[in-house]
A and B are shown apart, each in its own frame.
Chain A
Amino acid sequence: MAPAKSGANGRVEVRKTYKLFIGGEFVRSESGRAYRFDGNVNVPRGSRKDLRDAVRGARGAAAGWAARTAMNRGQILYRAAEMLDGRRAQFIELLGSGRGAHKEVDDAVEAFVWYAGWTDKLAQVIGGTNPVAGPYFNFTIPEPTGVVGVVAPEEPALVGLVRRVAPALCGGNALVVLAPEVNPLPALTLAEVLATSDLPAGVVNVISGFRKELLPWLASHMDVNAIDVAGCTADEVTEIEKAAADNVKRVVKHAPGEMSPYLITAFMEMKTVWHPVGV
């Protein structure tokens, strides 16, 4: 299924160098390493340092992204749907060209569109004013948790990831995505979609490499506020949950494939504000 094979007409195709996506830039691993997962394609084998750079990129972008208006975030998520739709053919090929591949790309586009529409509705559904027993105006609003690690599932490689990334972005978080060790190309290619969707640099970072070299550091990183374990085995989840306690990380476990506003709030904090009422 590797793309960019030489054509029958003798044309020598221009192959793509797959890269990590860190702080809005496509870069090779600082370690200079790569691994081949499927025959001829070299995939960057990201290092612990790459991961730390990605977290720093995400932290740097987090406040600005959170401060965007809900409408603006919705527009950008919708733009991601447009960009993904424009690359349908590429993703279908990456996903094996079967009927399932067509549906998967459709579903991924739909996920971006659906969550694009949630950005400016969530606070009304989830937050509100609280009728406290005293002369105070009191309201609760959802706010982004901050920097979120997302362990992308191997299957379905595209829609499985989009359904984790879209709600976390919808809530205003900045992300560090670990591409699956096997079949990382859809995740790395999705970075190209996000890079052209007006998403500010650093809001999404994508790292490929060996799970055992990256996951423990993502799970224990003191500047990561939450981690989505969609792509993890039960044993990995246990290890993540142990490491997460170092900084009281939120560990988010949701059924794969689920689409719901409760997935957005899983990456959000509720803030309650009080003010006296008086003359």
Chain B
Amino acid sequence: MAAIVKRQPTDLAKQIFEYAPAPESIDHVKIEPRYGLFIGGKMVAAHSKKRFPTINPATEQKLSEVVEADEVDVDRAVKAADKAFESWSAMAPSRRARYIFRISRILQERARELAVVETMDGGKPIKESRDVDIPLAAAHFFYYAGWADKLEWAFPNRKPRPLGVAGQVIPWNFPLLMLAWKIAPALAAGNTVVLKPAETTPLSALLFADICMQAELPPGVVNIVTGGGKTGSVVVTHPGVKKVAFTGSTEVGKLIQRSLAGTGKRLTLELGGKAANIVFDDAPLDAAVEGIVNGIYFNQGHVCCAGSRLLVQESIAEPLLEKLKLRLGTLRLGDPLDKNTDIGAINSKAQLEKIEELVESGVEEGAEIFQPECKLPERGYWFPPTLFTNVSQSYRIAREEIFGPVLSVLTFRTPAEAVEKANNTPYGLSAGVWTDKGSRILWMAERMRAGVVWANTFNRFDPTSPFGGYKESGFGREGGRHGLLPYLELV
């Protein structure tokens, strides 16, 4: 034991945690060289002649080519959805439920295939897509399937009615899961959808198109158009779209909110965050360290509700940071398909550049940077787990959403100061509190201006649990009974 103690943290990590490569096989996955669009129940050739590659961010290799859908394509999709709305909304709700249950089951049956594609297209570790993204997506469909024929019980004294065609635009951090969050409640409520997956992660949505066909979902109920920001803008502003749901950056969310002014379209936004993860001196430190790591390094920090600001009580800052740095040294960064990988690839070159730029600003503004010794693969986009101390609230790394594996550490002395600092942000998506004292948990939970508060845990998600933001993190909830409301008119 004594010999080990003398070693540097990272050496210790290597000695204890040397693992042989354990890559997930990809031979059961078939990715087409080119994809069309999913409109009216089948894959169709696009009107747009523009195509763009989707690449594996861990290898920079092209996986496939997808369409940059144009106005004509989006119009076709909306028309197909509008046509399908008539029969889908009039269908006996219990029949509607059956289709959604089917989708959930097929997601479970094809879980491995979906997990591998998700990891190849987005760069996230296979253990996350396998254990989090895909099971939660399936659970989400299962949950909302059950609501389809119970809507009359959901909102007292009101008759719920579907809205029509929902235009949905989702991000690249949890592609299939965000698709599920959008499509499942929309379908259960009797709407039809046109969904645009993120530019860098279209593949799981295109696989989902295949699943819709396998489930024999009536044509046009789900339509999927690929493309970038321009396509997204065409989807949300199309006059046939009655309801818009967007998950992504606050910047784009504001653009969408502005562009829908005066249209009467219903809108829900799930935008950015800069969550405080607050650790009190009586918190179980080892559990808190795991929570901090899960809070900011989960999915390479590409999480809107990531605990990107660690607020630690001054009296335990030193021992906590020591443990945290030690733990960072044990995180395994590398091949996302390896089952032992903790930190995968950064989703895109553009995102990597954004992270690098913000990290540079942190150093320039005077924060102290810590990165464990970490060998980055030669190809692909990578960023080591990073931690900043000596951070002032005014620094960009304490104010702006980095959306990468970068933690800013601030300290506080009293609970009131923790509340003040935690709420000192235009965002309000999530917050974390670590303490052994029950009354303090509830006191803190009351005061956090955030839609989700994790106490002695972090980054937990469940289809029954409403999720969404305060302030500039957006409005509307996804998940639970509350997640139905954005897709219904209450008469």
- Could you list which residues of chain A lie within 8 angstroms of chain B, going by C-beta atoms? 125, 128, 130-134, 136, 138, 140, 145-146, 225, 234, 237-242, 244-248, 250, 260, 262, 269-276
Task: Return the chain A residue nearest B452 by Cβ.
Answer: A272
Most A CB atoms within 10 A — which of B139, B254, B475? Answer: B475
Interface stretch (choices B68-76, B226-234, B311-319, B465-473): B465-473
Task: Return the chain A residue nearest B158 by Cβ.
Answer: A262
User: Could you tell me if A276 and B462 are in contact, using CB atoms closer than 8 angstroms?
Assistant: no
User: Once the chains are docked, how many angstroms separate the CA of A271 from the CA of B480?
Assistant: 12
User: Could you tell me if B482 and A242 are in contact, using CB atoms closer than 8 angstroms?
Assistant: no
Residues of chain B within 8 A (CB-CB) of A132 are 460, 462, 464-465
Q: A238-B262, A247-B472 are in contact. Are A272 and B467 (CB under 8 A)?
A: yes
Task: Return the chain A residue nearest B461 by Cβ.
Answer: A132
Q: Is B3 an interface residue (CB 8 A)?
A: no
- Closest Cβ–Cβ distance, residue A137 to chain B (whole Å): 9
User: Could you tell me if B468 and A270 are in contact, using CB atoms closer than 8 angstroms?
Assistant: yes
User: Could you tell me if B258 and A245 are in contact, using CB atoms closer than 8 angstroms?
Assistant: yes
- Could you list which residues of chain B lie within 8 angstroms of chain A, going by C-beta atoms? 139, 155-158, 250, 253-255, 257-258, 260-262, 269, 271, 426, 441, 445, 448-457, 460, 462, 464-468, 470-475, 477, 480-482, 490
- Closest Cβ–Cβ distance, residue A245 to chain B (whole Å): 4
User: Once the chains are docked, how many angstroms separate the CA of A271 from the CA of B444?
Assistant: 13
> Could you list 21 A-B pairs, sorted by A, with CB under 8 Å?
A128-B481, A130-B465, A130-B466, A134-B460, A136-B462, A225-B471, A234-B262, A239-B261, A245-B257, A245-B258, A248-B250, A248-B269, A248-B472, A262-B158, A270-B451, A270-B466, A271-B450, A274-B453, A274-B455, A274-B457, A276-B457
User: Could you tell me if A250 and B475 are in contact, using CB atoms closer than 8 angstroms?
Assistant: yes
- Closest Cβ–Cβ distance, residue B308 to chain A (whole Å): 18
Q: Which of A128, A134, A248, A270 contacts B471 (CB 8 A)?
A: A248
User: Could you tell me if A262 and B451 are in contact, using CB atoms closer than 8 angstroms?
Assistant: no
Residues of chain B within 8 A (CB-CB) of A242 are 258, 261-262
User: Could you tell me if A274 and B257 are in contact, using CB atoms closer than 8 angstroms?
Assistant: no
- Closest Cβ–Cβ distance, residue B485 to chain A (whole Å): 9
Residues of chain B within 8 A (CB-CB) of A134 are 460, 462
Q: Which of B250, B262, B470 contacts A241 (CB 8 A)?
A: B262
Residues of chain A within 8 A (CB-CB) of B474 are 248
Residues of chain B within 8 A (CB-CB) of A133 are 139, 462, 464
Q: Which of B257, B466, B472, B475 contacts A272 (CB 8 A)?
A: B466
User: Once the chains are docked, how many angstroms separate the CA of A136 from the CA of B450?
Assistant: 19
User: Could you tell me if A271 and B158 are in contact, using CB atoms closer than 8 angstroms?
Assistant: no
User: Could you tell me if B465 and A270 are in contact, using CB atoms closer than 8 angstroms?
Assistant: no
User: Could you tell me if B452 and A248 are in contact, using CB atoms closer than 8 angstroms?
Assistant: no
Closest 9 CB pairs of A and B: A238-B262, A241-B261, A132-B462, A245-B257, A245-B258, A242-B261, A130-B464, A275-B455, A245-B254
Residues of chain B within 8 A (CB-CB) of A247 are 426, 471-472
User: Could you tell me if A275 and B258 are in contact, using CB atoms closer than 8 angstroms?
Assistant: no
- Closest Cβ–Cβ distance, residue B425 to chain A (whole Å): 12
User: Could you tell me if B254 and A140 are in contact, using CB atoms closer than 8 angstroms?
Assistant: no
User: Once the chains are docked, how many angstroms separate the CA of A146 from the CA of B462?
Assistant: 27
User: Once the chains are docked, how many angstroms separate the CA of A138 from the CA of B457?
Assistant: 12
Task: Return the chain B residue nearest A63 by Cβ.
Answer: B447
- Closest Cβ–Cβ distance, residue B278 to chain A (whole Å): 14
Residues of chain B within 8 A (CB-CB) of A140 are 465-466, 480, 482
Residues of chain B within 8 A (CB-CB) of A246 are 254
User: Once the chains are docked, how many angstroms separate the CA of A272 from the CA of B464?
Assistant: 11
Q: A138-B465, A273-B455, A274-B457 are in contact. Are A241 and B158 (CB under 8 A)?
A: no
Task: Return the chain A residue nearest B287 by Cβ.
Answer: A276
User: Once the chains are docked, how many angstroms separate the CA of A132 from the CA of B467?
Assistant: 13
Q: Which of A241, A262, A271 contacts B453 (CB 8 A)?
A: A271
User: Once the chains are docked, how many angstroms separate the CA of A234 from the CA of B264?
Assistant: 10
User: Once the chains are docked, how many angstroms separate the CA of A29 from the CA of B269?
Assistant: 38
Residues of chain B within 8 A (CB-CB) of A244 are 257, 261
User: Could you tell me if A272 and B271 are in contact, using CB atoms closer than 8 angstroms?
Assistant: no
Q: Which of A128, A131, A270 contacts B477 (CB 8 A)?
A: A270
Q: Which of B139, B257, B453 contacts A273 (CB 8 A)?
A: B453
Residues of chain B within 8 A (CB-CB) of A273 are 445, 452-455
User: Could you tell me if B465 and A274 are in contact, using CB atoms closer than 8 angstroms?
Assistant: yes
User: Once the chains are docked, how many angstroms separate the CA of A225 from the CA of B465?
Assistant: 24
User: Could you tell me if B475 and A245 are in contact, using CB atoms closer than 8 angstroms?
Assistant: no
- Closest Cβ–Cβ distance, residue A164 to chain B (whole Å): 18
User: Once the chains are docked, how many angstroms separate the CA of A246 from the CA of B257?
Assistant: 9
Given A245-B257, A248-B475, A273-B452, 13 other A-B residues pairs in contact with their CB atoms under 8 A: A130-B464, A136-B462, A140-B480, A248-B269, A248-B271, A260-B157, A270-B477, A271-B450, A271-B453, A274-B453, A274-B454, A274-B457, A276-B457
- Closest Cβ–Cβ distance, residue B446 to chain A (whole Å): 8
Q: A248-B472, A275-B457 are in contact. Are A270 and B254 (CB under 8 A)?
A: no
User: Once the chains are docked, how many angstroms separate the CA of A225 from the CA of B470?
Assistant: 9
User: Could you tell me if B451 and A272 are in contact, using CB atoms closer than 8 angstroms?
Assistant: yes
User: Once the chains are docked, how many angstroms separate the CA of A248 from the CA of B453?
Assistant: 21
User: Once the chains are docked, how many angstroms separate the CA of A146 from the CA of B472?
Assistant: 13
User: Could you tell me if A136 and B457 are in contact, using CB atoms closer than 8 angstroms?
Assistant: yes
User: Could you tell me if B261 and A245 are in contact, using CB atoms closer than 8 angstroms?
Assistant: yes
Task: Return the chain B residue nearest A271 by Cβ.
Answer: B451
User: Could you tell me if B460 and A274 are in contact, using CB atoms closer than 8 angstroms?
Assistant: yes
User: Could you tell me if B453 and A272 are in contact, using CB atoms closer than 8 angstroms?
Assistant: yes
User: Once the chains are docked, how many angstroms separate the CA of A244 from the CA of B262?
Assistant: 12
User: Once the chains are docked, how many angstroms separate the CA of A210 from the CA of B403?
Assistant: 44
User: Once the chains are docked, how many angstroms separate the CA of A90 from the CA of B136?
Assistant: 60
Residues of chain B within 8 A (CB-CB) of A248 are 250, 253-254, 257, 269, 271, 471-475
Residues of chain B within 8 A (CB-CB) of A270 are 451, 466, 468, 477, 482
